[in-house]
Amino acid sequence: MPSHDDIHDVAGLAASLDAALAGVLAELGVEGPPAAAELGVPSRREHGDLTTNAALVNAKRAGRPPREIAQALGERWSAGPGAGACARFEVAGPGFLNLFLTDAWHRGALARMLVAGSHYGRGALPAERRQKVNIEFVSVNPTGPLHVGHARYASYGDALCRIFAYAGHDVTREFYVNDAGTQMLRFGQSLAARYAQRLGADVAVPDDGYQGEYLLGLADEFIAEAGERYLEAVAAAPDALSLPADVVAVFKTWGRDAVLELFRATLGRLRVPFDVWAHESALYTGGEPYRGFAGEVGKALADLDAEDLLYEHEGAVWLKTTRFGDDKDRVLIRSSGEATYFLSDIAYHRDKMDRGFEHMIDIWGADHHGYVPRMKAAFTALPPHQPERLELIIGQLVNLLEGGAAKRMSKRRGDIVTVDDLVEAIGVDAARFLLVGRSQDTTLELDLDLAVEQSSQNPVYYVQYAHARICSVLRTLVERGGEGAVALVDEVAAGARGLPDVAVGPEERDLIHTLARFPDVVLAAVEHRAPHRVHTYLGELAAGFHVFYRQCRVIVDDPEVSVFRVGLCRASQRILATGLDLLGVSAPEQM
């Protein structure tokens, strides 16, 4: 929906400047297209409404002083495509071109935003850059409740998905369930032990099992469903570790499904939905076995064998990951005959490629970053050998403080602060805004006591307040008989007319500039995989609105001024709501 042919949005204006620049350079006899320049809103009002470094960037190739090129560009643009938009221009500093735009341009820009409504900036990604993308995140093994660390990745990943989709990508959100392997075995054994304990038998939870109390609750649920049917079998074993596989399997499977239900509920409360729940265990079933493994795992082994990348050593089967930059080769099949986690992970990514994703993103915690080189190597080893299609994003950890001291969490000890605890304490909106407010590259300091104590001054309320305030103003306007102004703005939004011909004041101008940046912010957030940019932007937009609001009354006698300001309110309201939604935060109409 983005049209780059209208000068009343920044992208369109940039295109018209590019055209003028090309003309200037052509006159100077420069071959080829101009170097990419930046067009942005300067931080200082004196520097105009928009400013570009186009002359600076192209001066070297043109062999002329930057200021001279800027002057020529300004003249050519203001006389040509910029005729109605340019009030005046200025060549500044080493060669910046500062553009001072007319009130008419600002009104036009605002009108365009109103027409776009809650879709302003949607589809900002050019068609050729849109892809079918799979984003996998959280992906924790289903052995216990989600903790605040997971909440960060969940919030980050979900926001990234929303922003990708908004910008134009076709996004699939995926949760990989690690329900095979040793950890699940321990989990099943632990649950069996708790089950027996609840029924009066003396079976200990394995030392390296899951000690958390939540297992008692799960055991009770299990008893409610299955009764004492398995008590004899469990109590007969000398200890939980030596339980027969078929008995453990019952607890493993039931427990997994129960925990996954908890995940769904918790993530649902956090507003983090998933399209696909991919089970590791499912990778081992179906089709003809290869090297003793069926399903996707067998296919992966066959593929790697065909590339001549497997070998046996000390009873284990290894993959030559060193061929692709890893420090050492890695085991795929242990000497015991069991698959490693690495093997199923390879099979899993192979399957993702099979499912036709052009681009795949995995979001991992920093504690897994040592795993990156081997995963990259394995992915490169698999046909069609396109490592750039797999992107591994490493998110830094959450540092939990309690009483000013670092708190260490351990799921096996059962000593954790859960996502539900956090949401219960400060609410979903505050939690999500907090968790997604910082770059994923930096460790997040989370002082729970402080978060609870200060939740009422969480920055999220500043942004939400701006939205609620606008809703309130518009309500009041209607109550006082101002439906006419609202109706006129509706007509502008429908594209039926323009905004009235009023002068645009400095605060109004600033607010329009900020609003106009939104599509660029969305693009930058996609480009850098950085939802926190939307977070930062929303703070600036809310501030800009509050300043405008303080200075400019919306409900005034002059109907034209009123309509224009209602338009400004409406556009701000829409963009605030859209931006908040991209972060999974609500935009309340009153607080």
Partner RNA sequence: GCGCCUGUAGCUCAGUUGGAUCAGAGCGUCGGUCUACGGAACCGAAGGCCGCAGGUUCGAGUCCUGCCAGGCGCACCA
The reply to whether 558 sits near RNA by the rule CB under 7 A is no
Interacting positions 180-209 with RNA (CB under 7 A): 181-183
How many angstroms separate the CA atoms of 141 and 145, rounded?
Answer: 10
* In the complex, least distance from residue 229 CB atom to RNA, rounded to whole angstroms: 29
* Residue selected from 437, 519, 567, 579 as contacting RNA according to rule CB under 7 A: 437
Residues between 253 and 312 with contacts to RNA, criterion CB under 7 A: none
- Taking CB under 7 A as the rule, does residue 524 contact RNA? yes
Asked if residue 337 lies in contact with residue 366, where contact means CB atoms within 8 angstroms, the answer is no
Pairing mode of beta strands 86-92, 96-101: antiparallel
Q: For the range 364-369, what are the long-range contacts, defined as Cβ-Cβ under 8 Å and sequence gap of 24 or more?
A: 364/392, 364/393, 364/394, 364/395, 365/149, 365/153, 365/394, 365/395, 365/397, 366/394, 366/395, 366/396, 366/397, 367/397, 368/394, 369/394
Cβ proximity to RNA, 234 vs 428, nearer residue:
428
Is 29 a binding residue for RNA by CB under 7 A? The answer is no
User: Binder to RNA among 5, 170, 232, 327 (CB under 7 A)?
Assistant: 327
Which residue number, 450 or 496, has a Cβ lying nearer to RNA? 450
**Cα 367-371-375 angle, rounded to 5 deg:** 145
53 is a contact residue toward RNA (CB under 7 A): yes
Q: Which is nearer to RNA, 231 or 466 (CB)?
A: 466
Out of 533, 568, 571, 583, name the contact with RNA by CB under 7 A: 533
For the segment 144-183, give every residue that binds RNA (CB under 7 A).
178, 181-183
List 92's β-bridge partners, or say none: 96
Distance CA 203, CA 209 (A): 13
By CB under 7 A, tell whether 223 contacts RNA. Answer: no
Asked if 547 is part of the footprint of RNA (rule: CB under 7 A), the reply reads yes
Q: Which of 239, 305, 367, 483 binds RNA (CB under 7 A)?
A: 367
Per CB under 7 A, 407 contacts RNA? no
What is the sign of the dihedral through the CA atoms of 62, 68, 72 and 74?
positive
State the binding string over 439-478 for RNA (x if CB under 7 A, else -).
x-xxxxx--------x-xx-x-xx--x--xx-xxx--xx-
Q: At what angle do helices 459-479 and 559-582 cross, to 10 degrees?
A: 140
Q: Is 155 in a helix, a strand, or coil?
A: helix
CB of 505 to RNA, least distance (A): 12
Tell me which residue of 556, 564, 458, 546 sits closest to 503, measured CA to CA: 564
From 94-102, 158-166, 238-246, 292-300, give the range in contact with RNA by CB under 7 A: 94-102
Q: Which stretch binds RNA (CB under 7 A): 80-88, 127-135, 237-245, 520-528?
A: 520-528
Measured distance CA(368)–CA(393) in Å, rounded? 11
- Told to check if 528 binds RNA by CB under 7 A, we report yes
Q: What is the DSSP string of 95-127?
A: TEEEEEE-HHHHHHHHHHHHHHGGGTTTT-S-G
235, 331, 452, 502: which one binds RNA (CB under 7 A): 331
**Binder to RNA among 15, 28, 35, 92 (CB under 7 A)?**
92
Q: Which stretch binds RNA (CB under 7 A): 39-47, 130-138, 302-310, 413-421?
A: 39-47
- Which of 45, 88, 323, 369 is in the footprint of RNA by CB under 7 A? 369
Task: Give strand pairing partners of 316.
Answer: 313
Angle at which helix 182-198 crosses helix 214-226, to 10 degrees, equals 70
